[in-house]
Structure 1
């Protein structure tokens, strides 16, 4: 009898809790996914990998990651929660779980987007549920949710108050910027998705920044150039791909990569960014020599393109990109939030000059 009473009390408390905190679930199907380079892309992928069969296998897999994708909506909810599923629960050894598999949220204010909270992923399971922010005023707010950077997202639900309003929204941007690059563009090692420099650049300039970073695999293959060429509305293309390309690849591929981009984007400005000065080279002489050769070859190809008559080309050298105090990375290669802030200042200022 005593055991039965305990069970009844538990059920009563559980049901009571559900009635007090009654919620409505808004499925992913009710949102327009933003930050994609192409319409009609399946799932939460950045591109239709089945369409671009010539891409290297590793590049295809990385473009299933939801880096740079986001949704926006309006609601007067007092609490915002998420339920979502990623392809697995694995984590990188130089990244936070929130950046890799979680979400972060912003709320629009008069002077721009303001950070509101994060959805922390379950560390063991593919499926996660988390409260992002609660105890808010029941006034209408516009939310922005950045998707996980380093995982394929399989599904998500937004959970709000039972009687709260909900309106899916779509942002109006001043410009579209496409950034092709390495793990640094992809987002490593920001603490959360909204602090990767492409996301920060988008908020800073009210630009639709399309994140085409492919961690460890930005090597300027012709098939990648052709895929990027299909993006029709770019106002600026940023090439931040030096870190992954060998000195030989830079010498052999940079000119033709830009040449292919120019077939469909004859006047679009292209900003070429040298590799950050990776702090692994502070004492590792082999790394230091490689970096110098990479950046030297990239600059020579930039000059070659100019001599060949290519216009609207811009260049950022490695100088000061992540600061000069050796405190801008998590592991000697990937920027921390401090490193990204420093990159944003230099790259953002250059982009404003171009525009």
Structure 2
């Protein structure tokens, strides 16, 4: 038995070496580097998106979701040949329609020729103290990295491991401005395969503008307390995916008070509303088709009034469906390709609107 155990250890060591993973690492807390995509910079836990002690009114589910790190990334540079990650999870989630790489894993991009190129993704084992071996066998030159954090988990500590003797240090924020993106499960990133594939993250990489995601799956319904967060946030513009979750009655009751609450903190800041997308589960189910049609019509009619009633309000239409209607993951949420289509469909309209306000 002792010989078998020794052989297993030797084989594991050879596999690790073949993948470029050293056995000796120094660890750096991710929050000691540069956090990007974070709406509220002063939360007691650096990986929370909202300070739930300061901001009240959230339901228990919403309270948990705004403590999740969706949309937050870590920017740094390192010459380490390999990178590992060790996480202390307060809550570690996996959903049936979203991979572990997205819900509780990490997604690494490295800048090459001025663009962010995907490098690696993975999810840490649930066992406490386990280490995620993210990437190895790099060439040892200095690389600028962008590491996306889990979209549907809460972390109390994230430690990035680099080989002993290697450099790891923060870089400046690679994105410009601060643009809040409040929204539903679509903004949260449900059904993506890895954390960097949310449409706000894709928009940041394609435009160079910093999107600050506050997606709350199933729970973004034009509530006053979400508007209160936006009213106090330090942002240059606000994008709202606000018509995907609420019922038509909730839209009629809440839309104008929602706008007016944000205006208390941002009298002139552009607010760009998005219509909801076409959900593929309505293709053959008549009840869902009629309900979704009513939601879309209600949002359109209310926004026609809002555009006349308020200054600096805009309305755009995302599209996450290809001509074959093959982009849906579960009938409600798009997969990666659908979210790419979403980001691309609103990129030019967003840029045109933002330029009017000097946001480039």
The two structures share one fold, judged by TM-score above 0.5 = yes
Contact 1:89 1:126 in 2 (8 A): no
Structure 2 stretches lacking a partner, 5+ long: 355-360
Separation in 2 of the partners of 1:205 and 1:151? 27
Displacement of 1:55? 2.7
Displacement of 1:9? 8.7
Separation in 2 of the partners of 1:126 and 1:287? 43
Q: CA RMSD in A?
A: 2.5
**Runs of 4+ in structure 1 over 6 Å off:** 5-20
Alignment counterpart, residue 56 of structure 1, candidates 59, 62, 72? 59
Contact 1:87 1:126 in 2 (8 A): no
* Cα deviation 1:217-268 (Å, max 9, x = unaligned): 0011111111111012x22211112111111101111111112112221222
Contact 2:99 2:191 in 1 (8 A): yes
Contact 2:22 2:82 in 1 (8 A): no
Separation in 1 of the partners of 2:210 and 2:50? 16
Other-structure match for 2:165: 163
Displacement of 1:347? 1.2
Question: Under a length normalisation based on structure 1, what TM-score does the superposition of the two structures give?
Answer: 0.91
Contact 2:30 2:74 in 1 (8 A): no
Other-structure match for 2:357: none
Instruction: Give 3-state SS (helix, strand or coil) of 2:264's partner.
Output: helix
Instruction: Give 3-state SS (helix, strand or coil) of 1:148's partner.
Output: coil
Contact 1:185 1:198 in 2 (8 A): yes
Alignment counterpart, residue 73 of structure 1, candidates 50, 73, 76? 76
Contact 1:82 1:159 in 2 (8 A): yes
With 79-88 and 241-250 compared, the bigger mean Cα shift is at 79-88
Other-structure match for 1:334: 333
Contact 1:181 1:218 in 2 (8 A): yes
Displacement of 1:207? 1.4
Contact 2:106 2:195 in 1 (8 A): yes
Instruction: Give 3-state SS (helix, strand or coil) of 2:87's partner.
Output: strand
Q: 1:132 to 1:303 in 2, by over 3 A?
A: same
Displacement of 1:119? 2.3
State how 1:1-355 maps to structure 2 within 5 Å.
Answer: 21-28=23-30, 30-43=32-45, 44-122=47-125, 124-125=126-127, 128-232=130-234, 234-308=235-309, 310-317=310-317, 320-355=319-354
Displacement of 1:270? 1.5
Q: 1:57 to 1:347 in 2, by over 3 A?
A: same
